[in-house]
Amino acid sequence: MSDKFNSLGIKKLPSQTRVLVAMSGGVDSSVCAALLHEQGYDVIGVTLQLYDHGEATGLTSKTVKSKTCCAGQDIYDAKRVAQDLGFPHYVLNYESNFHESVIDDFANSYIRGETPIPCVKCNQTVKFHDLIKVAHDLGADCMATGHYIQRLIDKNGKAYLKRAIDAGKDQSYFLFATTQEQLDFLRFPLGGWSKDTTRKEAERLGLLNANKPDSQDICFVPDGNYAKIVKKIRPDAVKSGNIVHIDGRIVGKHKGIIHYTIGQRRGIGIGGGISENNEPLYVIKLCPGNNEVIVGPKQALARNILYLIDCNWLIEKNINMPIEIDLKFRSVMQPTAAILYINSDKCAEIHLNKAHYGIATGQAAVCYINDRVIGGGWITKTLNKAL
C-alpha cells in the first residue's frame, strides 16, 4: 500500500491497483487499456457482446458492421489487443440487458413521437450500471473507459466532469446521466487528449486497430434506417395517417409517424403549392394519439422553454432558484445561453435566452457552467412564449 496517490487518484501502487477497462474494440478504449497496462496497473479488459442471435432486430455479431461498436469484429479486436499485451480479457453476453434497456426503449420512444438518444441510455444502464457491478465483483478499484471527457477533482475533493480538451470529440453530452457514485468510481484517461494524440499513441504501442475508423452510427442501426428497426420490434405500431397543416388542412398521408422527426424538411411526402409563396414546410409536431404529423412554416418550430424529466444533477440543488447555464440539446451543437430552474430532484425547466428551432421531445438537455457538466434531463415538452 502506498501513502501517495497514483495517476488514477488511488492510494496504491499501480501494480496493486486493479482497473477494469471497458473495451469496445475501438482505438480509444484499446489505447486506454494499453496505457494503463504499460504504467503497471493490474488491467482487466471487458467487452460487452450486445448481439448474439438478434431475433427481434435481425442483427447479429456477424451482420453488424465494423464501424459500430461491440460487434463481432470489435470483440475480436479487443481480445487481440489484450492477448498481444498480456492482460486478461473477458467477453460478457449482455444481449438481453441491452435489448430491454436500450433497443426496446428506442422503439417505444419513436412510437411516442419522440427522438431518442440510445447512446445515453446505453451508458446509463448497460455500460455503467451493469458493468460497474461487474467491476466490483472482480475486485476492481476503478473502471476506465475511452470516452473523451475530463474527470477532475474540485477543492473539496469531489469528482466532477468537464468537457474534453478536444471539442470535436467531446462526449460529455452522452454522459450527463452519470451519477456522483458512478463518477467516483470511473476514470477517463483520454479526456485531456486530442484524437490525433490517441492515434499516435496507438501506433507507438503497436496496436492492431491503430488506424481503425471511428464508430459513426447508432450501433444497432448500422445503415441509419431507424424505422426499419422499429418496425421489426413493433410491427403493429406502424400505421398510416394524415399529414395536417397547423391551420387544420389535411395536406397528405404518412406511412407511420416513426418515419418523421421534429424539424424535418425533406422527405415529408407532400407536394408544393400548399403554403403561401410555396415556402417550405417542416414537421412541427407528432401526435401519436390521433396518428397525425403536423407540418407548418419554420417559424412555427421556434421554442424557448424546455421541460425536463428524469434529471440527474452533479451539483447541490437549489430548488426553483435561477441558474445561468450553457445548454446543449443536441450532441454536435455549440452550447447556448439559458436559465435553469430545478423544480425537484427529477424535474426542471429551462428558459433559452433566444428561441431555437427543431427541438424534439426525447432528446437530452445537458447543462454546463464554464464547461463543467452540472447535469441534465430528458425533454418531455417544449413551448414558445414571452418570458
Active site members: 122, 219
Q: Where are the beta strands (DSSP E) in the chain?
A: 18-22, 42-49, 89-93, 142-144, 149-153, 159-163, 186-187, 241-245, 250-254, 282-287, 292-296, 302-313, 322-328, 336-342, 348-357, 364-369, 372-383
Dist. CA 273–CA 11, nearest whole Å: 71
Neighbour-count burial for 251-277, b at 16+ CB within 10 Å, e otherwise: bbebebbbbbbbbbeeebeeeeebeee
C-alpha triplet 303, 239, 359: angle, nearest 5° = 15
**In the beta sheet, which residues pair with residue 308?**
348, 379
Q: Which helix (H) or strand (E) holds 203?
A: helix 195-204
Assigned C-alpha cell, 326? 450553457
Q: Are 375 and 175 in contact (CB under 8 A)?
A: no
* Contact of 144 with 24, CB cutoff 8 Å: no
Closest CA to 86 of 39, 135, 34: 34
**Quick one: which of 193, 148, 152 has its CA closest to 173?**
148
Residue 340 DSSP symbol = E
